[in-house]
A = this chain, B = another copy of it.
């Protein structure tokens, strides 16, 4: 896609804001990784390093009352929905001030008031749930949309199939994506599926599919916009395959020796932040000094978060007894 077209289709402020969130995601996750290496994080760390453009792109394309049921490398989506760096770091540190109050860890956070569903470890489990949220919107005649997805690995699960099929039959306003980062933990695509592209799965449901450069935030944003528009018009789900590469190990303890180094070298050149900076330059929206300013801004945002999280109290033991049952039901 050429720069002129992008200039026409994406507002300057949106482009700049996406760049901000790319940098913020990177800075936050890098900081989490550093804390992990220092042994200060409780539990595992799964990052979106090198894949930040996906969540940043799609979450930017949604309206405020649309709903996100994120997958496990969608940090950008939380940030865009207003989860602060402090809250998120508190979550990683098991603090009471995290979105789950210490009940759950890392990316397993959600908040109905901000329209983000809590991630469920069991991969693809949130896809039927997302379809159900879309069903509610359709039944009530609201023009809201749900965005959800899974990894290449998660696309092998039965719930993926049941969700996509149900959404297709009822033409629900939901967009499914796949973050195809070439690996499920250590398992390469060839041991996961016998198709060249995950998007081929969409044919089983009769829904449109599209392959998108997952490292190009503008491409992600525009593809998401198109799919969201289709959904909002009542024309049903779309499946977007975001091609990308997992640049870190599966989680931060994993050196990922099973990934060929050349593959990583190749993809390093396609880093989403580099790409975005190139694009911003071409659009005339910003250059090196601007990028530096953003880098500094997000750095201080992250450091403020670290301070907040570290100063936050841990929960007290008996708090774990609370909340098994609800007294009343909010909704979004």
> Which A residues form the contact surface with B (CB < 8 A)?
156-162, 165-166, 168-169, 171, 190-196, 200-207, 236
B207 to A204, Cβ gap below 8 A? no
Question: Are A162 and B168 also in contact (CB < 8 A) when A205-B194, A207-B194 are?
Answer: no
Closest to A191 in B: B169
Cβ-defined contact, B157 with A169, below 8 A: no
Chain B residues with Cβ under 8 A from A194's Cβ?
A: 165, 168-169, 171, 205-207, 236
Q: Which 10 pairs show the lowest CB-CB distances between chains A and B? A: A158-B158, A161-B161, A204-B204, A194-B206, A168-B194, A195-B206, A203-B203, A201-B204, A158-B162, A169-B194
Chain B residue nearest in CB terms to A161: B161
Q: How far is the CB of A80 from chain B (nearest CB, A)?
A: 31
User: Of all chain B residues, which has the CB nearest A128?
Assistant: B158
A157-B162, A161-B160, A193-B169 known; A203-B200 Cβ under 8 A = yes
Q: Which residues of B contact A203 (CB under 8 A)?
A: 195, 200, 203-204
Q: A59: shortest Cβ distance to chain B, in Å? A: 27
What residues on B are CB-neighbors of A161 within 8 Å? 156-158, 160-162
CB distance from A303 to the nearest CB of B (A): 45
Nearest chain B residue, comparing its CB with the CB of A207: B194
Chain B, Cβ-Cβ closest to A166: B156
- Residues in B neighbouring A162, C-beta threshold 8 A: 156-158, 161
Q: Does A195 contact B205, Cβ atoms closer than 8 Å?
A: yes
Point out the residues of chain B lying under 8 angstroms from A204, CB to CB.
Answer: 195, 200-204
* Further 20 A-B residue pairs, CB within 8 A, beyond A156-B166, A193-B205, A194-B205: A156-B165, A157-B158, A158-B159, A158-B160, A158-B162, A161-B161, A165-B194, A168-B193, A168-B194, A169-B191, A169-B194, A194-B206, A194-B236, A195-B203, A195-B204, A196-B206, A200-B206, A203-B203, A203-B204, A204-B204
Chain B residue nearest to A237 (CB atoms) is B194
A161, A166, A169: residue with the most chain B Cβ atoms closer than 10 Å: A161
Residues of B within 8 A of A205 (CB): 193-195
